[in-house]
Amino acid sequence: MSQIFKYIVNEGLPITFIVFYCVGLALYFSPHTHHLFMLITPYTLVLVAIAIFSHHKEWNTTTVAVLTGIFVLSILTEIVGVATGKIFGVYEYGEGLGAKIADVPIVIGLNWVFLVYASNSIISKYTSKNILITIGAATLMLLYDVVLEKAAPLMDMWLFSKNTPPINNYIVWFLLALLFNWAIQKFKVNTQNKPARWLFYSQLGFFIIIVFTVYIKK
């Protein structure tokens, strides 16, 4: 049993993520378990993030400082954004992401950290040039956000006042992604992490399926 557990949390973690999100889809689409899905969503995001960062290869003061900086700056930006409607547009968070600070779910900061880290890991697998990694990872995050913005209202994560995010939402998202990925490259944070890449793909596929399935029924 211990060998099976070790496999699941190490070599088998990518497969575990795929199975995990397939189960999530079943919970989401079943009327009997949809409410349960909504309740456990923020906890599952924390759980998978812990799984990812337990596989990080080089923990040091610089890495902790950079990731913490991304967490704090993203949270502060979201707080100002929600309060003023001047950064991302006029929007508010629902109850789908759990506990909040100043109307912003705490898990949002963790999600920013994961997305920067994972997108950087994906692009840096194919090139070692800092500029290409920074721009490529930011672009990948932007594509992710295009899908996520469609899925978020369906999962009670957040909702824009006019249901459709304004263009500045995507511009600011891309600029923040550039800044955060620049910091990752500047301070040489090692993002080579296979499970992180697979979690990114699994989450993106999860959101695509939800959006496609819901909208095709309309």
DSSP string spanning 119-160? HHHHHHTT---HHHHHHHHHHHHHHHHHHHHHHGGGGTSEEE
* CB distance 124 to 192 below 8 Å: yes
Closest CA to 112 of 83, 85, 79: 79
pLDDT at 13: 79
* CB distance 199 to 48 below 8 Å: yes
pLDDT at 143: 97
pLDDT at 158: 96
Letter string b/e over residues 33-56, b meaning 16 or more CB atoms within 10 A of that residue's CB: eeeebbeebbeebeebbebbbeeb
**pLDDT for 184-200, tens place per residue?**
999 999 999 999 999 99
Closest CA to 116 of 49, 42, 20: 49
pLDDT at 14: 84
pLDDT at 113: 98
pLDDT at 11: 59
Q: Which residues of the chain fall below pLDDT 70?
A: 1-12, 218
For the whole prediction, is pTM greater than 0.85?
yes
pLDDT at 7: 43
Domain ranges within the chain, ordered by starting residue: 2-216
